[in-house]
Amino acid sequence: MKAIHIKLWRDLKRLRAQVATIAMVVAIGVAGFVGMFSVHQSLQGSRDAFYRDNRLADVFASVKRAPVHLRERLAALDGVAEVKLDVVFDAQIDLPGVLPPVTGRFIGLDLMRAHAGRQGLNALTLKRGRWPERDGALEALVSDRFAAARGLNPGDTVHAILNGKRERVHLVGTAATPEYVFASQGGAPDDQSFGIWWIDSTRMTQAFDMQGAFNQVSLRLDAGQVAERVLPPVDHLLEPYGAFGATGRDKQLSAKIVSDELAQLQVMGTVLPAIFLAVAMFILNVVLSRQVATQRSQIAALKALGYSDGAIAWHYIQLALAIAGLGVAVGLALSQLIGRGMLGLYDEVFRFNGLAYETSVWLVVVSTLLAAAAAAAGTWNAIRAVVRLKPAQAMQPPAPPAYQPTLVERLGLRRFVSTGAMMVIRNFERRPLRAAFTVTGIALAVALQISGAFWLDAIAHIVDVQFRQVQQGDVLVNFHRPVPMSVVQDLKRLPGVIDAEPYRTEPVRVRLHGRSEDTALTGYRSDAQLMRVVDETRGAVAMPSHGVVLSSLLARALGARVGDRVELQFRLWNQQRVEVPVVDIVHTMFGKLLYMNLDAMNALARDGHGVADAALQVDPLAMDAFWGAVKSAPVINSVFDKAGTLAAFNKTTSRNMGVFSGILTLFAVAMAVGIIYNAARISLSERAWELASLRVLGMTRAEVSVLLLAELGAELLVALPIGALTGWGLASLMMRLMASDSIDFPVVIEPSTYASAALIVLAAGVFSALLVRRQIDRLDLVSVLKVRE
């Protein structure tokens, strides 16, 4: 073994503490990159296989009621390969032992094709139980996620109000379908209060008087055909029957939520690991530069023995690569723990047919190359110093730094500053870049902690706005068909109802400047309080007597401004086309939506003054009696229980976000320890002679430790506000990268989040300082002073 190789092993052993901390930072970056991208790939592969095996459609459209003979005309459209017609209705369900009713979406199922294994598009995968039978009792399958959330099992019996008639439904199995990976009525997915039910298609058409008709169509397109070319002719065919607007798979609600989740995971797997690798590069640069400075005589001896500049430079690159290699090895092992843990959480959410964790070879290769590149970049300054050193020059001790009056001294403030503080100030001014690097690294640790914890603040803000400001009522009810405005009086007579407000939501197509969007128009009373529009900055917005109010997302998509006139096309009932002025634009978080005064909306629609929705305020002490009355009201089609939905939402998000925030907190602590410990060790190596001299002159260990660690404390205090600002910027960047065309979340970070991030990093700094303090206590004064001589 060559001498230079022996030196490499000795350097690794001597620097083992610093090697371990640097490798830890590299490992976290590799683990985050490989783990999160492996989860992304596993989910994406499982999703694609689930969509392919269960034949998810390419185009979806809903219609009020259309004749089944349209099947031939739809199938004849250019690019259409297969057509599936369905009957779909929402209904109120009474679960045994559950007081509030829940909403079920009932879908007709062709039992003959299901039993024969020829379901067609949007096929079901039977998870438990068996397929329903046609004869005898009304049997059903239910979505697997809803069954798990509600503890339902094959053999259970529930009651449902199907088209105003109370029916006993026998649950015979659970199923999953790519059409409803996420089941939602239009808002956030909610498995507690909304489930998908499949019953015999013949019984379905009879129950809802849909013989010879359908209200939902799914299309599979020819290979290579794009959905945008097929959507207009589909809309043209369905428009006379009250169409809601055809959409491609990319905008189908469940598929879009899945895609958004995967996109967010990809962002997380890119941004955060990049921070760790950048920090590792910085630490390597500082440590190896220090190695070169302390090994001048050894470098001179190696050059005198005939080693070339390239061989010596390669020695230091090998040192960096060894550290990076250790980090990669640990990171790959850690990625398995992180990835499999995260995949377990996602498995409960997505419920694909099969979900297996896999790490691609290219991920291992890319992460190794990134770590090696970071290590090589970190050794650049060290390599330059090696090449520049001549043997004769290297044999001499380094020239002492040139001291000059500090800024404090030049300003005449020296008498106000203690000797110890002046030593810290001089070190800052003598090595400003090193201090800046250390401050930046600590600030990034603070920012990383904030970027993991702010999600809880954002979710709390969303809950506050949507559940406490927008929806001040306790319950939302939907009627099977429009009812007179007088229904408000009937609702107020229900047990416990304090107040009731009607509102109306209709599908519309809005056009402006050659752009169009299919969306929903909601009409509220001018004095609405229980369900209203809330602007992020202005608060509650009263509906004007005329004109239309646009959400900021819709206004952005259309390029609309206040004063523009937009064309509204009502998709149902009389299908009126009207022009209305834009009187306001409100900044809301969800959806491309429009709002109007309820009376003005009814006047424009010219289809009467009926409503299909209402918001209720209910006395909490009378909820039992209220729910009993609702279950016996056949006109009520579906129910939204705010308290139950909020409790389920908080339970799910608190667990998932808590795990995610906990992982990032551990990462931030590891990063802070790695940076602070290495900074303190380097400072100790550089100032060992100085500190030993002060000890000989009579200073105690504690006094010497304060002199060394005061600089570290100053860097920590400077880094905290910078880290807070950087954390806000990182959170804003992540929100922007994760944004979609239908969601606009604000960046909300509470003061407590900033404070906790600062305290965690400070604790990491104290821990690192204690480790270095032990090194100071063990300082061998004789050997240190001999080295200087």
- Number of Cβ within 10 Å of residue 308's Cβ equals 11
Report d(CA 664, CA 660) in Å as an integer.
6
pLDDT-derived band at 119 (thresholds 50, 70, 90) equals confident
Report d(CA 431, CA 420) in Å as an integer.
17
84 or 6: whose pLDDT is higher?
84
Q: Please state at what angle helix 253-294 crosses helix 380-388, rounded to 10 degrees.
A: 20
Q: Is the pLDDT of residue 783 over 60?
A: no
Amino acid at 383: I
pLDDT-derived band at 686 (thresholds 50, 70, 90) equals low
pLDDT-derived band at 784 (thresholds 50, 70, 90) equals low
Q: Is the pLDDT of residue 200 over 60?
A: yes
Average pLDDT over residues 565-585: 89
Q: Write the DSSP string, 179-200.
A: GGSS--SSSS--TTTEEEEEEE
Helix (H, G, I), strand (E, B) or coil at 307: coil
Q: What is the mean pLDDT of the chain?
A: 82
Q: Is the pLDDT of residue 621 over 50?
A: yes
Q: Is the pLDDT of residue 509 over 80?
A: yes
Q: Best-predicted range by mean pLDDT among 258-262, 317-321, 452-456, 504-508? A: 504-508
Q: Best-predicted range by mean pLDDT among 187-191, 269-273, 498-502? A: 498-502
8 A C-beta contact, residue 469 and residue 540: yes
Q: Best-predicted range by mean pLDDT among 157-166, 209-218, 289-298, 311-320? A: 209-218
pLDDT-derived band at 100 (thresholds 50, 70, 90) equals confident
Average pLDDT over residues 282-295: 68
Percent of the chain with pLDDT over 70: 85
Q: For 750-779, what is each residue's pLDDT tens digit? A: 898 899 888 888 888 788 777 777 766 666
- Could you tell me which of 184, 231, 232, 176 has the C-alpha nearest to residue 53? 176
Q: Which two tokens stand for residue 390?
A: 């001549």
Q: Is the pLDDT of residue 322 over 70?
A: yes
Average pLDDT over residues 187-196: 79
Q: Is the pLDDT of residue 402 over 80?
A: no
Do you know the residue count of the chain?
789
- What are the two backbone dihedrals, phi and then psi, of residue 274, each rounded to the nearest 5 degrees? -60, -35
Cβ neighbors of 583 (< 8 A, separation 6 or more) are 544, 546, 547, 548, 549, 562
Q: Which two tokens stand for residue 530?
A: 């229980």
pLDDT-derived band at 83 (thresholds 50, 70, 90) equals very high
Average pLDDT over residues 248-270: 84
Distance of CA 337 to the CA centre of its chain: 20
- Could you tell me which of 200, 237, 202 has the C-alpha nearest to residue 217? 237
With tokens 């029916």, the residue in question is 167
**DSSP category for residue 704:** H
Report d(CA 402, CA 768) in Å as an integer.
30
Q: Is the pLDDT of residue 338 over 70?
A: yes
Average pLDDT over residues 705-722: 79
β-bridge partners, 221:
80
Q: For 627-685, what is each residue's pLDDT tens digit? A: 988 888 888 888 888 888 887 777 777 666 777 777 777 777 777 777 777 777 777 76
**pLDDT, position 410:** 67
Q: Is the pLDDT of residue 394 over 70?
A: no
**pLDDT, position 775:** 67
785 or 527: whose pLDDT is higher?
527
385 or 205: whose pLDDT is higher?
205
pLDDT-derived band at 287 (thresholds 50, 70, 90) equals low
Report d(CA 530, CA 508) in Å as an integer.
24
338-352, 491-505, 595-609: segment of lowest average pLDDT? 338-352
Q: Find the helix or strand (DSSP H, E) in which 260 lies.
A: helix 253-294
Q: Which two tokens stand for residue 412?
A: 């005449």
**DSSP category for residue 427:** H
Helices (H), 305-360: 309-350
**pLDDT, position 124:** 92
Helix (H, G, I), strand (E, B) or coil at 169: strand
Q: Is the pLDDT of residue 545 over 60?
A: yes
Helix (H, G, I), strand (E, B) or coil at 55: coil
- Number of Cβ within 10 Å of residue 190's Cβ equals 23
- Relative to beta strand 139-143, strand 125-129 is unpaired
**pLDDT, position 788:** 46
pLDDT-derived band at 386 (thresholds 50, 70, 90) equals low
**pLDDT, position 400:** 59
Helix (H, G, I), strand (E, B) or coil at 523: strand
**pLDDT, position 56:** 93
Report d(CA 384, CA 177) in Å as an integer.
61
**pLDDT, position 63:** 92
**pLDDT, position 139:** 94
Q: Residues of 584-612 as b/e, b for ≥16 C-beta within 10 angstroms?
A: bbbebbbbbbbbbbbbbbbebbeeebbbb
- Number of Cβ within 10 Å of residue 131's Cβ equals 16
Q: Is the pLDDT of residue 187 over 80?
A: no
Percent of the chain with pLDDT over 90: 23
Q: Please state at what angle helix 361-378 crosses helix 253-294, rounded to 10 degrees.
A: 30
**pLDDT, position 74:** 93
Q: How far is CA 535 from CA 243, 345, 532, 563, 591, in A?
A: 30, 34, 10, 19, 13
β-bridge partners, 129:
173
Report d(CA 72, CA 739) in Å as an integer.
40
- Relative to beta strand 157-162, strand 165-176 is antiparallel
**pLDDT, position 779:** 60
- Relative to beta strand 636-641, strand 565-570 is unpaired
56 or 284: whose pLDDT is higher?
56
pLDDT-derived band at 307 (thresholds 50, 70, 90) equals confident
pLDDT-derived band at 242 (thresholds 50, 70, 90) equals confident
